[in-house]
Structure 1
Amino acid sequence: MRNQHTNPASRLRRLARPAGLALSALMVAALAGCANYAGIHSDKQIAGAGDYAATQSIPTAQGRWPSPDWAGQFGDAQLKALLAEALQGSPSLDKARARVAAAAAVSESANASTLPQVGFGYSWNRQRFSANAMTPPPYGGSWQTENKAVLGASYELDLWGKNREALRASVSALRASEAESEQVRLTLGTAVVRAYNELARLYALLDIARDEVAQRAAVLRLTDGRVRMGLETEVEKRTAEANLATSEVAVSALEGSILRTRYQLGALLGQGPDRGLAIARPSLGAGDEVRLPDNLPADLVSRRPDIVAARWRVDATLHDIKVAKAEFYPDINLSAAIGLDAFGFGRFLRAASGTVAAGPAIHLPIFDGGALRAQLKGRYAEFDFAVASYNETLVNALADVATQLADIRATDAQIANAVRSDEAARRALALALAQYKAGLTTQLTVLNAQTNALASAQAVANLRMARRDRQIALAAALGGGYADTPDGAAQVALAR
């Protein structure tokens, strides 16, 4: 006699054979009836660095790309420590790290969708069955305890690559988030160095203003002596007092600006305003010679984190388009379950309590009112936007490098002229003071000489600090030492 308690695995194999035949028939019918995405495409392409004319504006000079510690060229140990502190404790970087972690979690979730899913469940249920319903005696009208344990597995065949493309899209989005995090680091580091340079500029102007106070105090003493000798009137004395007071006001204003800049640096460091008060006076050097590296436009696309991030965003949208296209085809899922189901504990572990289920599940989009076509159009719109954003970022990056370089060259020429003007103004002031002491000229001549000397000294200080600021901005425009790995370069192609 045939064994009536067939092994559950044998049942599963018997169920799988007709299920496979049914699956094949359903796939043929599904492909014949699936929705259509004909006519939906994009003709947008990302631009290459060579597509934009820049050889005249960005001449190469066999220079080097900035290193990650590019701020060290200014020779200020305190600045190096401040940068490390800012990159360690800034809330802005904490936000960027959180975004990267979120993107990594999405990528892990997308990877899980490509793998089989296995689960186990157990349930215990105490129930009184109706004597007048479907449950026959002896169970009808009695209390029974049902024990059920099921081990189930499911797997989406992913014949059209939807899950694989979703995984690739999530990986590209993760790479974009990582590059954007590097852009935040670069932006923060640049802001710290520029604020530090502004602090140095204010201290240089403060020195000039204090020298001016000392000079005008000396003129006031000379004028006071000349008044007592009857060589000057009270008008000249009051004028000298007013000029001294004006210079003292300038000193106070600069001291206030220095305090505000210290508070700004404290915030950039991710600390309170008191942290800025502990910063010593900067001692910045001139920095390295400015020479652009060769093949700059072509290499810039992998040296600036904002360009790299934009490129990865384009790549992610390409995979999203393929996901949207796969939605037009049927989803095919295979599932199987094996377990035990019985009333009471006594029969629960017997072979007769075994239960087996297996089969395919297919979802076929036939008519959805145009929802899938609208979704694909939206993905292509996102792709067009990502391409335009990339091209815009590249154009702005090239303009940024050219602008900073032009400003540096122009400032160098201005500094040379300003230094000559300052030297002449200093000699004129020294001569005017000597003549005033000897009674050979008027106070007005001295005041004019002082005004010219003050303006020329301020001009030299401002130009030198502006030149260094442009040098800092150029290092940032060249990527600040960032470099995308060769194996991580996004291979972006035209989506059709």
Structure 2
Amino acid sequence: MKAQVIRSVSGTRAIKAGLSAILVAVLSACANYAGIHSDQQMAQPQQFNTTQSLPFESGHWPEADWAAQFGDAQLKVLLEEALKGSPTIAQARARIAAAQAYAESANASTMPRVDANYSLMRQQFSGTAGVPPPYAGSWQTQNSGLLTASYDLDLWGKNREALRAAVSHVQASAADAEVVKLTLATALTRTYNQLARLHLLRDIAEQEVERRQQIDRITAGRIATGLDTQVERKTAQANLATAHSALAELNGSSLTTRYQLAALMGEGPDRGLAIARPVLGVGDEVRLPDNLPANLVSRRPDIVAARWRVDAITHEVKEAKAEFYPDINLRAAIGLDSFGFGRFLTAASRTVNVGPAIHLPIFDAGALRAQLKGRYADFDDAVATYNQTLISALNSVATQLAQIRSSDAQIADAQVAQQAARQADDLAITQYNGGLTNQLTVLNADMNALQADQAVANLLMNRRDQQITLASALGGGYFDTSSEPERSPDSAAPSNPVTAR
């Protein structure tokens, strides 16, 4: 008896081993993806040298309302309007909705499907074909009502990988929406700062008009006393007209900037006319947060979006690999099928069928391999895009920090030069009014003072613009809380007899 049991067990094992060998042989003879792979790898922030350009300064990451640091209540209102009404935000939301719909469709492919079908067909059967009497040559009405069910076993994970890819695309679209929001907020804040710049330059231009009017009056008095001629008078009038022209140009630029703000808000140009003069403050102290390179990958929405796209294509590669293996679909149907109406609802019209449907690719002229190569090409492109995005982000932060430090040094010197130029200009006017110097000296001093005022104004506005751009480069308060995606299409390949090298 024991010997019979041993022989029975041995026979079972032999059958299983034989079936496995047959399966391996069949699959190996079929289409396979041997030799198709990728060597591309996602860059790690730590591999880049950033200790000197991005030092640890114990600073803080920007808050979600990072623009509030400038203390302008109107700017906050404009940003809220823009994020609600801008068409670019609506476009981003639509892309998220489309990605979510595709994910729902992919999820449906992993579930059983049940359908109900009914057909009614009037047909004349051939009298010389395979239909036997009494139906041969007659007209018949065929009624068919079926309830069908199907389920893809998904042994190799094709549908599951498609679902994971779709979910990753949803994550990427959500990060893209954050990129759009940050880009819009940055553009609006910088444009608002440009409006502040134009108002400040306009103040300087108005002061210059007053100064040129003063010079013209003094020149008129000097002509009356014989100290100047009509040459100096015409020169003074020409300079006054030039000052008026510069003021008009600034007024036009200010109007254009208001229209730009209205467009960024998704409003008509008249909305820009209602914007009051900006009252932007200096903003927070600029200090970089510690361990910036490592944390930046979860703080920049463009890096997060690029990372999720790599993950999506990783799953698409695995989905393409699963196409090489047998696709087994279980199907069943139950219903009624009959000729005529009278017998349709009888037990004799009942029909039932159940069984598997198996698809195995054997020879496809290289179509599956070409498809997989395309997926790997997409993977290489996504990895390269991620790496470039990371490099650009690190360099953007370093560049803005360097520009801010440079602006700080320039502002201090420019303010000293401004004070000296103003004093020289006042002294030249006093001497000119007293007949101690000529108009040329006054005009040179006045031009130097004007340029010094403009230089300080532009440096201050540039410095704030750089601070705005730095906040954006640091992610603008965004933080990715999603789970960590996969980084290699070969990290979890389906278990099968054929492996990619």
Q: Distance in 1 between matches of 2:421 and 2:228?
A: 25
5 Å-filtered alignment, 1:172-183, equals 172-183=168-179
Q: Distance in 2 between matches of 1:343 and 1:365?
A: 39
* Aligned partners of 1:127 and 1:143 also within 8 Å: yes
Find the counterpart in structure 1 of residue 318 from structure 2. Answer: 322
Q: Which runs of 5+ in 1 are unaligned?
A: 1-22
* Aligned partners of 2:149 and 2:331 also within 8 Å: yes
Q: Tell me, yes or no, if structure 1 residue 397 matches structure 2 residue 393.
A: yes
* Aligned partners of 1:262 and 1:276 also within 8 Å: yes
After TM superposition, the score normalised by the length of structure 2 is 0.91
Q: CA-to-partner distance for each residue in 1:34-72, whole Å, 9 max, x for gaps? A: 212111111111011101000100112111111110001
Q: Tell me, yes or no, if structure 1 residue 45 matches structure 2 residue 41.
A: yes
Q: Per the alignment, do residues 175 and 354 of structure 1 end up closer, same or farther by CA in structure 2, a change over 3 Å counting?
A: same
Find the counterpart in structure 1 of residue 484 from structure 2. Answer: 489
Given residue 326 of structure 1, which amino acid in structure 2 is its aligned partner? A
Q: Tell me, yes or no, if structure 1 residue 171 matches structure 2 residue 197.
A: no
Where 1:488 maps in the other structure, the secondary structure is coil
* Aligned partners of 1:210 and 1:251 also within 8 Å: yes
5 Å-filtered alignment, 1:142-291, equals 142-291=138-287
Q: Distance in 2 between matches of 1:27 and 1:164?
A: 23
Where 1:480 maps in the other structure, the secondary structure is coil
Q: Distance in 2 between matches of 1:25 and 1:61?
A: 64
Q: CA-to-partner distance for each residue in 1:351-391, whole Å, 9 max, x for gaps? A: 21110112222221112222211211111111111111111
Q: Which runs of 5+ in 2 are unaligned?
A: 1-18, 491-500
Find the counterpart in structure 1 of residue 94 from structure 2. Answer: 98
Where 1:225 maps in the other structure, the secondary structure is helix
Where 1:307 maps in the other structure, the secondary structure is helix
Q: Per the alignment, do residues 71 and 351 of structure 1 end up closer, same or farther by CA in structure 2, a change over 3 Å counting?
A: same
Where 1:105 maps in the other structure, the secondary structure is helix
* Aligned partners of 1:34 and 1:365 also within 8 Å: yes
Given residue 365 of structure 1, which amino acid in structure 2 is its aligned partner? P
Return the offset for 1:127: 3.7
Q: Distance in 1 between matches of 2:280 and 2:183?
A: 20
Find the counterpart in structure 2 of residue 419 from structure 1. Answer: 415
Aligned length: 473
* Aligned partners of 2:317 and 2:489 also within 8 Å: no
Q: Which of residues 445, 452, 459 in structure 1 aligns to 2:448?
A: 452
* Aligned partners of 1:197 and 1:465 also within 8 Å: yes
Q: Distance in 1 between matches of 2:257 and 2:486?
A: 44
The answer to which of 202-211 and 348-357 deviates more is 348-357
Given residue 208 of structure 1, which amino acid in structure 2 is its aligned partner? I
Query: Percent of aligned positions with the same letter in both sequences?
Result: 66
When the two chains are superposed, the root-mean-square deviation of aligned CA atoms in Å is 1.8
Where 2:361 maps in the other structure, the secondary structure is coil
Return the offset for 1:493: 3.4
Q: CA-to-partner distance for each residue in 1:322-345, whole Å, 9 max, x for gaps? A: 111111112111111111112333
Given residue 491 of structure 1, which amino acid in structure 2 is its aligned partner? E
Find the counterpart in structure 2 of residue 311 from structure 1. Answer: 307
Q: Per the alignment, do residues 306 and 428 of structure 1 end up closer, same or farther by CA in structure 2, a change over 3 Å counting?
A: same
Q: Distance in 2 between matches of 1:245 and 1:435?
A: 24
Q: Distance in 1 between matches of 2:211 and 2:273?
A: 29
Q: Distance in 1 between matches of 2:487 and 2:252?
A: 52
The answer to which of 460-469 and 90-99 deviates more is 90-99
Q: Distance in 2 between matches of 1:340 and 1:28?
A: 42
Where 2:443 maps in the other structure, the secondary structure is helix
Q: Which of residues 323, 333, 337 in structure 1 aligns to 2:333?
A: 337
Q: CA-to-partner distance for each residue in 1:127-158, whole Å, 9 max, x for gaps? A: 44455554444444554433211000111111
Given residue 199 of structure 2, which amino acid in structure 1 is its aligned partner? Y
Return the offset for 1:116: 1.0
5 Å-filtered alignment, 1:116-135, equals 116-129=112-125, 133-135=129-131
Given residue 284 of structure 1, which amino acid in structure 2 is its aligned partner? L
Q: Which of residues 347, 350, 355 in structure 2 aligns to 1:354?
A: 350
Given residue 347 of structure 1, which amino acid in structure 2 is its aligned partner? R
